């Protein structure tokens, strides 16, 4: 026990094969530990248990991770998180705000804090931690085990109005725009902006996401106030795919989009 108590973050990172920055984020509570990390950590700390009949892993940290994740994720959002983690490609359209997978922590906190009735501080921090945790899927070198290098492709289409809407304060918006420029440089991320001059588009500002799995099956996700809808019917999914393609044709290409973001990053 004393041996485990003396372990540093570097020791845990090395033995779980996770990045040090990720282990640090788990310890400080800014991210929710993944189930995989909990399993590896149970082995490291000698708290691993396996059900002899079912083979299910029930170590102390695995049980705690499931509890934390359960209370952090709204029931109607759990399917989105589960599908997102297995996705090969995510196509997302947003008109009102920056996509959750591309938000900074301060921007996410300001968005979550705008919910009415006002959420208690601990609920806000859990929601922000979950949002930052979801972004791990886009960070194979920093947010997932070092021996796993697969990451989904994110194609995000965002209305220019979301760049101009001041969320939180001007400083938060400037940092958010800089973050978009950083993320756009990643090989698995494409960001396109629909300029205000384009006028009305075929989605009429209704945000949605298409999540494509490794076996090429797809589900469409979109939110309502306090709930969400999942579309799995093949014909309906195809319709949303077509809408996304039309939105891409309305949007600036990726280079032009970056130039537009650069042009607005000092505005608020």
Can you list the pairs that 21-30 forms with residues at least 24 positions away whose Cβ atoms lie under 8 Å? 21/142, 22/136, 22/142, 22/143, 22/144, 25/132, 29/125, 29/129, 30/105, 30/129, 30/132
Question: In the predicted model, what is the mean pLDDT of residues 23-36?
Answer: 67
What are the pLDDT digits (tens) for 96-118? 999 999 999 999 999 999 987 78
Q: 63, 49 in Cβ contact below 8 A?
A: no
Question: In the predicted model, what is the mean pLDDT of residues 145-174?
Answer: 86
Distances (CA, A) of 203 to 75, 157, 163, 225, 250: 27, 11, 18, 18, 11
Place of tokens 């809408």: 243
**Integer Cα distance of 268 and 263 in angstroms:** 11
Please state, as a whole number, how many other Cβ atoms lie within 10 Å of the Cβ of residue 205.
Answer: 13
**Integer Cα distance of 48 and 193 in angstroms:** 47
Question: In the predicted model, what is the mean pLDDT of residues 180-203?
Answer: 94
**Integer Cα distance of 182 and 261 in angstroms:** 11
227 or 166, higher pLDDT: 166
98 or 6, higher pLDDT: 98
Q: Residue 247: its pLDDT value, please?
A: 96
Q: Residue 12: its pLDDT value, please?
A: 81
What are the pLDDT digits (tens) for 44-55? 887 777 766 776
The answer to whether the Cα torsion of 250, 255, 259, 261 is positive or negative is positive
Q: Please, which residues bridge with residue 87 across strands?
A: 213
Q: 146, 157 in Cβ contact below 8 A?
A: no
Q: 9, 27 in Cβ contact below 8 A?
A: yes
Strands (E), the chain: 87-94, 153-159, 189-194, 208-213, 218-224, 227-231
Which residues does 41 contact at the CB level (< 8 Å), separation at least 6? 12, 16, 33, 61
**Integer Cα distance of 193 and 56 in angstroms:** 45
Q: Tell me which range, 38-47, 112-121, 150-159, 258-267, is most confidently predicted by mean pLDDT.
A: 150-159
* Lowest-confidence pick of 58-72, 73-87, 115-129: 58-72
């Amino acid at each position: 026990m004393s041996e485990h108590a003396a372990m540093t973050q570097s020791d845990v990172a090395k033995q779980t094969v996770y990045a040090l920055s990720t282990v640090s984020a788990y310890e400080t509570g800014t991210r929710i530990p993944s189930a995989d990390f909990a399993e590896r950590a149970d082995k490291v700390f000698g708290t691993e248990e396996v059900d002899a009949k079912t083979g299910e892993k029930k170590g102390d940290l695995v049980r705690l991770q499931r509890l934390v994740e359960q209370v952090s994720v709204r029931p109607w959002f759990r399917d989105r998180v589960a599908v997102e983690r297995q996705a090969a490609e995510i196509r997302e359209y947003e008109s009102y705000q920056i996509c959750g997978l591309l938000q900074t922590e301060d921007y996410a906190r300001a968005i979550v804090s705008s919910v009415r009735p006002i959420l208690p501080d601990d609920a806000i921090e859990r929601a922000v931690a979950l949002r930052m945790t979801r972004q791990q899927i886009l960070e194979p070198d920093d947010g997932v085990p070092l021996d796993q290098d697969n990451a989904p492709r994110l194609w995000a289409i965002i209305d220019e109005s979301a760049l101009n809407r001041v969320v939180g304060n001007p400083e938060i918006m400037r940092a958010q725009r800089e973050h978009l420029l950083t993320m756009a440089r990643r090989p698995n991320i494409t960001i396109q902006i629909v300029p205000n001059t384009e006028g009305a588009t075929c989605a009429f500002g209704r945000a949605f996401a298409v999540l494509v799995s490794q076996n090429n099956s797809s589900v469409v996700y979109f939110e309502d106030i306090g709930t969400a809808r999942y579309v799995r019917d093949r014909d309906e999914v195809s319709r949303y795919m077509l809408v996304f393609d039309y939105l891409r044709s309305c949007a600036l290409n990726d280079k032009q989009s970056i130039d537009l973001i650069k042009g607005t990053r000092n505005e608020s």
